[in-house]
Structures are given as structure tokens and as C-alpha cells.
Amino acid sequence: MAPPRTYRCEAITLSYTPLGEADLLVTMYTRDQGKVRAVGKGARRSTSRLVGHLEPLTVVRMSMAHGRSMDIISQAEVLESFATLKEDLTGITKGLYLAELVDGFGSEASANPSLFQLIVDTLRAVEADPASDMPLRFFEFHLLQVSGLMPELYHCVECRQELEPHAHRFSPNVGGTLCLDCNPDDAHLRPLSLRALKVLRLLDRSSIAEACKLSIDESLAEELKGLLFTTVAYWLGKEIRSNSFLERLRKESRSEVYIEGL
């Protein structure tokens, strides 16, 4: 029996590009089918029923039809728009950073419901507190986990000995934490403080709500950002474009704080 020509799915829109005179080529991540690229016919026309439904960072229930080369979006119902997040420059930039990572790590025609739920939960956390970077750290950590790339935090990845409560080293390309006695030739090593190791282990067993309650100083925050971003970027294997603008916003924010303090 031939598969049905139409189907429904729950998706979050990651990005879109103009196609032809009035269409949109939409990249979305669905709960049950992984990453999907589909065409919104006439979606750029002001009279289209799809107007406003396909904006990036919008959770939508889609009605789709299988096309010859690409699926067609026939209907869309907004389930969650994250309107408050989109009104905040830092918030929407962080949201687009999350979307870019999901686009890079998500596979087409390969469902990963945990990844779908992870980005939705993280967008809610960012919307609630756009200034906090902890939702991004939680997302980066659990992105690795749900993608099967979870770094080792409890044993040395080289000698497999249980890690003592001390400072160690961390290597994205060999899979996690190394004791002080092991030095693989091909390891890209970064220092890993005991405080950072404890926070990473806490992220491993915490919900995003619990993680966002953590209060850490700027030094520890920078160490965690360096460790997790480096690991995510290594596995992604290409430049994360939205991160450049995010870093620019951070620098401008620090400058404003400095000027106000003079």
C-alpha cells in the first residue's frame, strides 16, 4: 500500500529563504521525523494563510503534502510563538544560535524527539531570562548527550581510571576528561577546574529549571562557555555564524556596564 500523500507534524521553524517570486523554502525540525525542508507556496504574499506562521523560532502544527522533490506546506497552526523572546535582541540572537545548532546536529528523516523537546524547553528558559547564559550551557551539554556525543566526566577517557576530585584536562576530540597522567598525542587539551567539572556533572543530572537557578561567577561562566562551545563546534565541524553576533552583543553589554560605572 502506498504511503499517504498528506501528513501532519509538530515542528519548530529553524530558518527560511525566499524561493521564486512568492514561495519560501523552510527548514524545520519536527518531533517525529527529524529535520525537514519544505516549500511554503505563496507564503510571501500578504494574502497567504501562511503569513506569520513560518517565522524562525515558532512552534507550529503543520499539514504537509509529499511533493516530487520536496514536501509542500499546506496548512500551519502556531502553537507557541515566543513573541516576548523575539522582541529582545539578545534573546532572539540566542534563539537563532540554538536553531543553528539544531540545524547542524539534526538529521533529515531521522527522528530525535529529545532534541525537539530540548530546543523548545531552552527557548522557554531564554524567553524567561534573556540575560542569563545558563540556558545555552544546558542546551550545549544536552545537545551532545541527545546526539550520542556525551563527553566522559567520571573516568579518564584514556586509562579509564575513576577521576579523583581535582583539576583535570578536557579534550573535545578524544571524548571528554583526562587525568593528569594521560597525554594522548592527538588530544586538543583544555584545562578543567574542579569547579567546572562539578557544574558539568550537575548539568548531567539536572533539569533546565534546576540548572537555570545556579549562580556562578564570571570566571567559571567563561570556563564553561569555552569548554562546551569548543566541544559543540568541534563536532559540528563548521563555523557557527550566529555566535559571532552573540559575542558582539556581549562585548557591547560589558562596555555599557563599564561606562555606567565610571
Spatial separation of the C-alpha atoms in residues 28 and 256, rounded to whole Å: 36
Confidence at residue 150, expressed as pLDDT on a 0 to 100 scale: 94
Query: From CA 92, how far away is CA 130, in angstroms rounded?
Result: 9
Cβ neighbors of 44 (< 8 A, separation 6 or more) are: 18, 22, 23, 24
- Contact yes or no for 101/232 (Cβ under 8 A): yes
- In the chain, the domains with their CATH numbers are 6-81 (2.40.50.140), 84-261 (1.20.1440.120)
Instruction: Please tell me the distance from the alpha carbon of residue 51 to that of residue 57, in angstroms, as a whole number.
Output: 15
Q: What is the pLDDT of residue 3?
A: 53
Reading the block at residue 108, the C-alpha cell is 533529515
Under DSSP, the state recorded for 69 is: S
- Those residues of the chain that have pLDDT short of 70 are 1-4, 254-262
CA distance 7 to 4: 7
**Looking at residue 92, what is its pLDDT?**
96
What is the reported pLDDT for 165?
A: 87
pLDDT for res 194:
96
pLDDT tens, 19-49?
988 999 999 999 999 999 999 998 888 888 8
**What pLDDT was estimated at residue 191?**
94
- pLDDT for 122 equals 98
